[in-house]
Amino acid sequence: MSASSLPFPVIVPMLRVPILKPMFLPFPFSLWPRTLLPPLFLRPTVVKFPPTPCRLTASVAVVVNPGLDRSDISYSRTTAVTRKPCVNLIQGLERVKEISRILRVRREIEELALTYYKQAYEHETFLHVTLQRKEILGGCCVLASCRQQRWPITVGTISCLLNGDPAAVGEVYQEMIKVLNIQAPTFSVTDVMEAHCQEYKVSPGHVPEELAEDSKGLTKRAIALVELAADSWIVTGRQPLPIMMAAVYLAWQSLKPNAQRLKMSLEKFCKLAKVQKSKTAGTRITEMKGMLYKLGKEIPWYKEVLTPDNVVSLVGDVLQHRFSLLRRALKSHELSLLEKCPAGQVNPSSAETSSSSDVSEDAGQTPVKSSVNAEKEKQGRDGDESLKSPSEESNPQTQELTQNWGKRVLFAPPCVVNAKRKRAERPPLHVTGDEEISDSEIESYIRTPQEARDFAMMQEKLFTSNNESS
């Protein structure tokens, strides 16, 4: 057999030596070109991988010695690479940083907020929520860390920054607090007052001199007014912004109560100070003036007729002597109550004494003697019983005082003083649950066949007319 008769090319060295003509090829089968190998040698024993539909890379091929264990290695292990952090988490952390820098918070607050965000993001409650909710979560983390570090900030500010609904922010905030199991101190109006007062551009450089007011003095007066309002139940349960605005407005007026300032309305003041007017602030101004009037009435050296409108000029005196004015106001109130209801039929409730003790104890002063005595008398009783008696019921004035305890005390939450009229309550239905159900009653809830037909016809007509119009 010569080399030319073989079906494949063979490189034969040109040597003048006798050529061996072997029956078998000299080099191993595995190195032969695949197309030339007989089918017997095409079995793929070299590369082994699990039968998964995945793209192969050069690194995938693993030579398995057929003689050893043929256990498969999972794709995730074979393609294991360093896990990258989630893109949305990175963006969320950046957003938290941005919010922190806009608010100019301390570094510790920013770092704490970032920690909270990372922890909350990876919790199952927030992992699969919408991106919008995750953005709100970032704002809530900043809010929580600001509160923990005593940095004054409101939910409204965060909502504004996020351009979101305060209710949604509140909801995410509550969830986040629960998930992270942290406690953040609640909001306090007086903490935020200083920051709020700085928004009002009424310092000497911004407005004419007669309307200008030093920022520190304005803040101090406004904080005192807010504290007095809080003692008088005007602040609790209310939105803080209108109260702050009302306090700043009254403080500004009272620091220089000239005709120009006293005539200026809230709207004009807000325009002057370049702040957005709050609609509810007007109501708060009225309430605060009412409170100041009750105290201002007791000033002994003020001889003119005092009304809630002209009390602003006395704000300084009221704040300076508030404790003694309060004592006098309580005494006067008790006397007036006794005059309205002779023979002591209406007991001044323990609420009144509590409000007096609240205010005076907040101020660190000793309680009024009369109220202390009244309180001691009442300690033996349950203070919340109904005070109706036949003589009281006959007198509508006393009846009103009895039913509405807010009218009996000097200061009460406005929602109690101006209680909404309750809609007439239905008489209670005494049933056992097992009464007979009359067929006639049930029949009254079921349409007659004619009614049902008419209803069906009407629905069909409505449906077709809707289709035509659309």
Partner 1 sequence: MDQNNSIQAFQGLASPPGVMTPTMPVFSPMMPYGSGLTPQPVQNTNSLSILEEQQRQQRQQQQQQQTQQLNTGLPGASGQTPQLFHSQPVPGSTTTALPGNTPLYSAPVTPMTPIAPATPASESSGIVPQLQNIVSTVNLGCKLDLKTIALRARNAEYNPKRFAAVIMRIREPRTTALIFSSGKMVCTGAKSEEQSRLAARKYARVVQKLGFPAKFLDLKIQNMVGSCDVKFPIRLEGLVLTHQQFSSYEPELFPGLIYRMIKPRIVLLIFVSGKVVLTGAKVRAEIYEAFENIYPILKGFRKTT
Residues that bind partner 1 (CB under 8 A): 154-156, 166-167, 170, 173-174, 177, 183, 185-188, 230, 233, 236-240, 349-351, 354-355, 357-358, 361-362, 382-385, 405-406, 412-413, 415-416, 426, 428-435, 437, 441-447, 451-452, 455-456
- Report, in Å, the least distance between residue 128 CB and partner 1: 24
Helix ranges (DSSP H) in 199-280: 215-231, 240-255, 259-263, 266-273
Please give the full DSSP string across 102-133, using - where no structure is assigned.
Answer: HHT--HHHHHHHHHHHHHHHTSHHHHTS-HHH
> Of the two residues 210 and 443, which places its CB atom closer to partner 1 in the complex?
443
For helices 131-148 and 166-180, what crossing angle results, to 10°? Answer: 70
Q: From the CB of 79, what's the least distance to partner 1, in Å?
A: 45
Minimum CB separation of residue 155 from partner 1 in Å reads 5
β-strand partners of 296: none
Which CB atom, from 309 or from 443, has the smaller least distance to partner 1? 443
Token pair recorded at residue 215: 């920022």
Q: How far is the CB of 186 from partner 1 (least distance, A)?
A: 5
Q: Would you state the structure tokens that stand for residue 292, as one six-digit string? A: 């100041």
Which helix H or strand E contains 137, and what residues bound it?
helix 131-148
Q: Which is closer to partner 1, CB of 72 or CB of 362? A: 362
Phi, psi angles (nearest 5°) of residue 34: -60, -35
Question: At closest approach, how far in Å is the CB of 185 from partner 1?
Answer: 8
Cβ 169 to partner 1 shortest distance, Å = 8
Rounded least distance, CB 464 to partner 1, Å: 17
Rank residues 211 and 243 by Cβ distance to partner 1 and give the closer one. Answer: 243
d(CA 190, CA 152): 9
CA dihedral in degrees (257, 249, 227, 239; nearest 10)? 160
Q: Which is nearer to partner 1, 144 or 314 (CB)?
A: 144
- Report the candidate in 420, 271, 408 with the shortest Cα–Cα distance to residue 338: 408
Cβ distance to partner 1 smaller for residue 218 or 241: 241
Task: Between 30 and 467, name the residue whose CB sits nearer to partner 1.
Answer: 467
Rounded to whole angstroms, what are the CA distances from 418 to 185, 235, 409, 466? Answer: 31, 16, 13, 48
- As beta bridge partners, residue 47 has 63
